[in-house]
Amino acid sequence: MRFRVLAAGLTAGFLTLAAPAAEAFCGFYVGKADTSLFNEASQVVLVRDGERTVITMSNDYKGELTDFALVVPVPVVLQREQIHVGERKYVERLDAYSAPRLVEYFDEDPCAPPVARLEGAMPMASAPAGAPRDAVRRKSLGVTVEAEYTIGEYDIVLLSAKESSGLETWLRESGYKIPPRAAKALEPYIKQDMKFFVAKVNLKEHESQGFNYLRPLQMAYESKKFMLPIRLGMANAKGPQDLVIYAMTRQGRVESSNYRTVKIPSDMDIPVFVKNEFKQFYPALFEKAHVREEKRALFTEYVWDMGWCDPCAADPLSPQELRALGVFWLDEGNPTMGGGSQVVLTRLHARYDGEHFPEDLVFQVTSDRRNFQARYVLRHAFKGELSCEAGKQYLKALDKRHQQEAETLEKLTGWELGTITKKMGDDAPGKKAAGGKSPEPWYRRLWR
């Protein structure tokens, strides 16, 4: 039997070079680095405008549902109407829309005549089954039950506490299987006078809903604090945890105010064989970047005005889908072309542990609306006849390009250069160029 204390919807198993701005392009997306590439990566959607915040917590809990519970520090006591059970498909849509990805181009025939190009282009509130009713005992532990709800398949309790040891004792006596040393993790939030959102699965309601997974929990509240409590999620973590945050505002990009936020390396040409090894490529790239930043940074993987895309990696979310994720300021009567409306999406990826991320994540909204996406370019060589002078020049440049692609991949991932060139096959530097002849062996020119 096992239990996870989750902070801000993040499972305890979770826990993500300056790059030029993305430009318009006409390639084809051929692969994406969604969260499935990372073990037990947690996902959180943050919607922020002024002091209003909506959080969607996507739970990836695996195990007996009787062992599941979610403990989230929150700044205020939430009313029943401030809590909602959402749909996982909307979080998956955000993931697909913003995931780092491959794009491929195909070289044109350098011997073809030039062609003119066009420019531009039903609520019921009740207490959790079996919850203790001993008010005297709660008072002795310094714990106050502020509110109790049953919402969908979840039994939810809102607590306040005077001491972390008392809260830990109350949780244990109430049937929550919390990890050792939970009091130490709870203490900082009690000192900040934060409340605790505690949810567990109502098995009867879950069975009646007919779902074979846990749907996301959503909370809407007002607070000057724009933060995500991650320390509690480390209470029983076995190692570094991955977290992907989808932050939506109407002002601009979101960044951390207490940790460095850097862009993931992007817009680089890499060998075409990576098309079949993207699931190995991006985790290796992320780990290399993570180490290079001394394991103390958040990485920006995507920033985009959701009213348009160039091109679309996935269909933009409709106003209805965005509203389901908590975007509350949309004017559905006047949506912009492409689906989105007044929404800037920032995708942040963090890999953290207690040593390198000793504080909770604190965020700030910027006015920066410049677009950015993590994309990696595959350029296929032209395979036809190249007998013209332009074709000969193209072949000379092609070998140099392949050499650069191999070195770039080595730098991004740490893979061995010899292994990379071997996998490149006929595209490898020094091999027969597409449409041309094998280069003359070096020794034939030695004593000519």
For 285-295, what is each residue's pLDDT tens digit? 999 999 999 99
> Which is nearest to 45 in space by CA: 261, 304, 326?
326
β-pairing, 361-365 vs 254-256, is: antiparallel
66 pLDDT exceeds 90? Answer: no
Please report how many Cα atoms fall inside a 13 Å half-sphere around the Cα of residue 421, on the Cβ side: 15
Is pTM beyond 0.75? Reply is yes
Determine, yes or no, domain membership for 201.
yes
| pLDDT score, position 380 | 92
| pLDDT score, position 46 | 97
Determine, yes or no, domain membership for 75.
yes
Q: How many Cβ atoms sit within 10 Å of the Cβ of residue 131?
A: 14
E strand or H helix at 294: none
Residues 362 and 413 in one domain: no
The C-alpha angle 171, 172, 178, rounded to 5 degrees, equals 85
CA-to-CA distance for 321 and 200, rounded, in angstroms? 26
Q: How many Cβ atoms sit within 10 Å of the Cβ of residue 329?
A: 15
> Which is nearest to 423 in space by CA: 435, 431, 411?
431
Structural contact between residues 103 and 60, judged by C-beta atoms closer than 8 angstroms: no
**Minimum mean pLDDT among 51-65, 68-82, 399-413: which range?**
51-65
CA-to-CA distance for 164 and 444, rounded, in angstroms? 80
Determine, yes or no, domain membership for 299.
yes
Count of domains observed in the chain: 2
Residues 394 and 353 in one domain: no
Structural contact between residues 44 and 246, judged by C-beta atoms closer than 8 angstroms: yes
- Mean pLDDT across the chain: 81
Give tens-digit pLDDT for 323-338.
Answer: 999 999 986 444 444 4
Determine, yes or no, domain membership for 332.
yes
409 pLDDT exceeds 50? Answer: yes
Residue range 38-53: mean pLDDT, rounded: 89
Residues 363 and 404 in one domain: no
Q: Is 8 exposed, middle or buried, given 0-12, 13-18 or 19+ CB atoms closer than 10 A?
A: buried
List the strands of the sheet with 154-161, edge to edge: 69-74, 195-201, 154-161, 143-151
Determine, yes or no, domain membership for 1.
no
CA-to-CA distance for 275 and 399, rounded, in angstroms? 20
| pLDDT score, position 212 | 72
Residue finishing a domain among 337, 357, 378: 378
Range of the domain at 413: 381-445
Residues 372 and 423 in one domain: no
Residues 272 and 390 in one domain: no
User: Between 262 and 313, where is the model more confident?
Assistant: 262
SS3 437: coil
CA-to-CA distance for 131 and 199, rounded, in angstroms? 12
| pLDDT score, position 392 | 87
Give tens-digit pLDDT for 127-142.
Answer: 344 444 457 777 778 8
Residues 226 and 264 in one domain: yes
**Residue 400's pLDDT band (cuts 50, 70, 90):** very high
Determine, yes or no, domain membership for 86.
yes
Residues 161 and 271 in one domain: yes
Determine, yes or no, domain membership for 119.
no
Structure token pair of residue 244: 């992907």
Structural contact between residues 288 and 412, judged by C-beta atoms closer than 8 angstroms: yes
CA-to-CA distance for 216 and 80, rounded, in angstroms? 16
Residues 138 and 209 in one domain: yes
Residues 202 and 327 in one domain: yes
Residue finishing a domain among 378, 411, 428: 378
CA end-to-end span of the chain:
77
Q: Which residues pair with 426 in a beta bridge?
A: none
Residues 335 and 401 in one domain: no
Residue range 421-435: mean pLDDT, rounded: 71
Structure token pair of residue 182: 């939970």
Residues 294 and 426 in one domain: no
Structural contact between residues 341 and 334, judged by C-beta atoms closer than 8 angstroms: yes
Determine, yes or no, domain membership for 369.
yes
User: Between 232 and 106, where is the model more confident?
Assistant: 106
SS3 299: strand
Structural contact between residues 299 and 289, judged by C-beta atoms closer than 8 angstroms: yes
Give tens-digit pLDDT for 346-388.
Answer: 999 999 988 999 999 999 999 999 999 999 999 999 888 888 8
Residues in Cβ contact with 407 at an 8 Å cutoff, skipping those fewer than 6 apart: 417
| pLDDT score, position 432 | 56
How many residues does this entry show for the chain? 448
**Residue 19's pLDDT band (cuts 50, 70, 90):** very low
Omega before 240 within 30 of 0, i.e. cis: no
Residue finishing a domain among 378, 410, 435: 378
Q: What is the helix, strand, coil percentage profile of the chain, to 5?
A: 30, 25, 45
User: Between 357 and 313, where is the model more confident?
Assistant: 357
Residue 268's alpha-carbon distances to 105, 185, 285, in angstroms, are 13, 42, 12
CA-to-CA distance for 115 and 326, rounded, in angstroms? 48
Residues 301 and 238 in one domain: yes
Please report how many Cα atoms fall inside a 13 Å half-sphere around the Cα of residue 220, on the Cβ side: 14
